[in-house]
Homo-oligomer: A and B are copies of this chain.
Amino acid sequence: MSESTVLVLGSDPPPKLDRLAGRARVIYADETSLAGLLPTADVLLAWDFTSDAIREAWPESGPRPRWVHTASAGVDRLLCPALIADDTLVTNARGVFEQPIAEYVAGLVIAMAKDFYGTWELQRQRRWQHRETLRVAGTRAVVVGSGPIGRAIGTTLTALGVKVDLVGRRARADDPEFGLVHPSEALNGLLPEADWVVCAAPLTEATRGLFGKEAFALMPSRARFVNIGRGQLVVEKDLVEALRGWRIAAAALDVFEQEPLTADSPLWDVPHLIVSPHMSGDTLGWRDALAEQFQDNFDEWAAGRPLRNLVDKRLGYVPVQ
């Protein structure tokens, strides 16, 4: 096999790609230079996965990469009709973020149950004020998204004694991990019983705005909502209204319609809303793990073997086997 050209979008910081030395020419693009360089590349690594540039620059015709790997779980930022239609393979970072995100969500659930946020505010005020809090074991969670991240969240909450209903696109009656996976049509029937609603769905045309006025109206007033998927899965103004109107008890958002949040965003100080800067999956060493994963997949590519974490471009995610 002749030397491949690997085009990397983003270099702040650059990935460690030592293992490609002598096997691939690595060139870097930014959002401006991407369109001009795409026709020269065999492989595109979407290292900066927060950019919309790939979707915007993807050629309608002519030479283009035969493989695109994104250093993220979601592929919503890069998929466009031309990329979906052609035969370019798309792979993602499945395997890197699941466990950290599951821990993060479990921590949020406990923090909300035990009112850590109230405790910290009282500490600031130097006030000793005992309260009774919630037991996590025995509560019910609806986890939306039956991919690896939703599954890891479901498994971790189950280990804490939470009864978990996992919701996917389609029903599965004999799921090896959860037994039953509910279909998306069942969601509205599950929401009224939920203590916790966790959004871990991929962003697709079917899921955009999934959590809006109607969903929040179906949740009980004790419900607490967590989104670690993509900001566009939630209609932020409807969530804010639900919180301000005490329609639901609390929420935590790690992802937003527009990122980063600017200092004047109204979301920073909505009552009972926890805001974090899209970091739920990012543990120390995550960038190295992403670079290793890409290089492992490059080994498959170079050997002519099937790629791992192949995205079904029409579905918009890697189907669970």
Q: A residues within 8 Å of B by Cβ?
A: 99-100, 103-104, 106-108, 110-111, 113-114, 116-117, 119-120, 122-123, 126-137, 156, 159-161, 259-265, 268-269, 274-280, 282-286
Contacts and interface: CB of A to CB of B under 8 A. Distances in A.
Nearest to A156: B160
A147 B279 CA distance: 37
B283 A128 contact: no
B283 A133 contact: yes
A244 B263 CA distance: 31
Contacts of A275: 119, 123
A156 B106 CA distance: 12
Contact of A128 (B111, B113, B260): B260
25 contacts: A99-B137, A99-B161, A100-B133, A103-B110, A103-B136, A106-B106, A106-B110, A106-B160, A107-B114, A108-B116, A123-B275, A126-B264, A128-B260, A128-B261, A130-B277, A130-B278, A130-B279, A131-B279, A132-B282, A132-B283, A133-B279, A133-B282, A133-B283, A156-B159, A159-B159
A293 to B, nearest CB: 16
Contact of A134 (B129, B159, B262, B283): B283
A265 B122 CA distance: 14
Contacts of A280: 114
Given A104-B114, A107-B116, 5 more contacts: A103-B113, A103-B136, A132-B279, A132-B285, A156-B160
A268 B120 contact: no
A231 B189 CA distance: 47
A100 B187 CA distance: 29
Contacts of A119: 274-277, 279
A284 B120 contact: no
A274 B120 contact: yes
Given A103-B114, A110-B103, A135-B283, A277 B128 contact: yes
A155 B137 CA distance: 13
A131 B284 CA distance: 9
A268 B106 contact: no
A111 B263 CA distance: 24
Contact of A127 (B130, B132, B161, B263): B263
A160 B111 CA distance: 16
A260 B284 CA distance: 38
Given A116-B116, A159-B160, A261-B128, A135 B278 contact: no
A131 B114 CA distance: 24
A107 B103 contact: no
Contacts of A113: 103, 107
Nearest to A109: B107
